[in-house]
């Protein structure tokens, strides 16, 4: 029997015995494969997003099936007028940032959205790898064509953070906060990263790609060991599976509303919303820039979107880029 047929037959067996244990011996007999091969098939399904419990002398029980996204369902519930109306849904890709960038280069309209069930080379700020397993998160990139000058594009990172925070609260009832400039945290652990990249020509912004990576339905075991102390998911935060389709739709709606507000009234109302959701403002922080390292109290944002930090000499320093670490006592 071919692997594909074995996968389908095994899935059907578990679906027909929902909530029940199937012994390795029984599976082995029905599929005419060895017990070792059974274990390999179970692991293949796990990699596809299926969740199994394995208990000695009882066998395997399927706990959860992957929540698959569909273009039809995503479009059917989109309340935004432009953002997300044109979308590309991929099963697997290296990076949605690269896919969206290519579409933008080919002339894709503002609001075009690229989503993938899995990324093999997702990345965050400073080239860091972003963990993006199949069927458990939201890995997507949005094409923007702002009219603002290049030095103000950081404001769009902050706008995106506000949109994601608001959408998570609406869809999952979870209160998250924003760590400047681009991380969404729940109780100090990261649930979402945002990466904004721009393409320019003669000091003019041709387009921006807003990458959003949300650990929606990951369990602790889905994270690599080195991330378990610093990362969490919406599912772990609220104790229930979040509807990824609804969350994507909500983010697009929030993004569109805030983007229109930004274009009409500038950055000030966005800055106020960001500061209200910030987990950085009012805290003692360490700032690491390319040139310097210093400590101080984060007081808010300036008109460009830089983080204002009052240092030990009572000077108010604008931080445009760098790493922020929270001081703990």
* pLDDT value for 1: 45
Over residues 86-103, the mean pLDDT reads 96
pLDDT tens by residue, 104-157: 999 999 999 999 999 987 665 545 566 778 888 999 999 999 998 888 999 999
Other beta carbons within 10 angstroms of residue 244's beta carbon come to: 23
Q: What is the pLDDT of residues 259-306, one digit of tens each?
A: 999 999 999 999 999 999 999 999 999 999 888 899 999 999 999 999
Looking at residue 221, what is its pLDDT?
A: 86
Query: Over the stretch 293-319, which tens digit does the pLDDT of each residue have?
Result: 999 999 999 999 999 999 999 999 999
pLDDT per residue over 146-177, tens digit each? Answer: 998 888 999 999 999 999 999 999 999 999 99
Q: Provide the 3-class DSSP secondary structure of residue 236.
A: helix
Please return the burial class of 1, using the count of CB atoms within 10 Å of its CB with bins 0-12, 13-18 and 19+: exposed
DSSP state of 119: B
Check pLDDT > 70 for residue 206.
Answer: yes
Query: Mean pLDDT score of the chain, rounded to an integer?
Result: 90
Are the C-beta atoms of 146 and 154 separated by less than 8 Å? no
pLDDT of residue 292: 87
Encoded tokens for 79:
């309340």
Q: What is the pLDDT of residue 145?
A: 97
List the one residue out of 71, 133, 72, 143 whose CA is nearest residue 107.
143
Pick 28 or 64 by higher pLDDT. 28
Q: What is the pLDDT of residue 127?
A: 52
Specify the length of the chain in residues: 329
Do residues 4 and 38 make contact, with C-beta atoms less than 8 angstroms apart?
no
Strands (E), 215-327: 284-288, 293-301, 307-311, 316-319, 323-326
pTM: 0.82
pLDDT at 64: 78
- Span 26-52, mean pLDDT? 86
Which percentage of the chain shows pLDDT scores above 90? 64
CA–CA distance, 235 with 220 (Å, rounded to integer): 10
Q: Return the structure tokens found at 1.
A: 């029997």
> Strands across the sheet with 307-311, in order?
316-319, 307-311, 293-301, 284-288, 323-326
List the single range of 1-5, 145-149, 243-247 with lowest mean pLDDT. Answer: 1-5
Residue 67 has pLDDT above 80, yes or no: no
| Burial readout 82-100 (b: 16 or more C-beta within 10 A, e: otherwise) | bbbbbbbbbeebebbbbbb
DSSP 30: H
Instruction: Write down the pLDDT at residue 14.
Output: 87
């Amino acid at each position: 029997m071919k692997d594909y047929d074995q996968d389908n037959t095994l899935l059907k067996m578990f679906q027909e015995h929902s909530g029940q244990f199937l012994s390795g011996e029984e599976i082995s007999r029905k599929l005419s494969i060895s017990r070792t091969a059974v274990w390999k098939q179970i692991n293949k399904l796990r990699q596809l997003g299926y969740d199994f419990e394995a208990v000695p002398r009882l066998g395997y029980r399927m706990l959860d099936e992957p929540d698959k996204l569909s273009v039809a369902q995503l479009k059917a519930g989109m309340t935004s007028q432009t953002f997300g109306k044109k979308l590309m849904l991929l099963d697997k890709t290296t990076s949605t940032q690269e896919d969206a960038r290519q579409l933008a280069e080919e002339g894709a309209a503002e609001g075009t959205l690229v989503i993938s069930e899995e990324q093999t080379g997702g990345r965050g700020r400073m080239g860091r790898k972003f963990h993006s397993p199949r069927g458990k998160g939201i890995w997507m990139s949005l094409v923007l064509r702002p009219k603002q000058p290049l030095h103000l594009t950081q404001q769009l990172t902050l706008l995106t953070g506000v949109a994601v925070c608001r959408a998570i609260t609406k869809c999952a009832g979870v209160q998250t906060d924003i760590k400047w400039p681009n991380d969404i945290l729940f109780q100090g652990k990261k649930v979402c990263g945002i990466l904004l990249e721009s393409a320019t020509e003669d000091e003019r912004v041709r387009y921006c790609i807003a990458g959003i990576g949300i650990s929606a339905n990951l369990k602790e075991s889905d994270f690599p060991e080195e991330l378990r102390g610093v990362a969490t998911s919406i599912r772990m935060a609220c104790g229930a599976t979040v509807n990824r389709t609804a969350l994507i739709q909500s983010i697009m709606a929030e993004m569109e509303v805030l983007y229109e507000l930004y274009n009409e009234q500038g950055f000030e109302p966005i800055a106020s919303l960001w500061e209200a959701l910030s987990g950085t403002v009012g805290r003692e922080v360490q700032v690491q820039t390319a040139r310097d390292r210093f400590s101080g109290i984060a007081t808010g944002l300036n008109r460009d979107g830089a983080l204002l930090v009052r240092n030990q000499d009572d000077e108010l320093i604008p931080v445009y880029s760098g790493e922020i670490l929270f001081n703990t006592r």
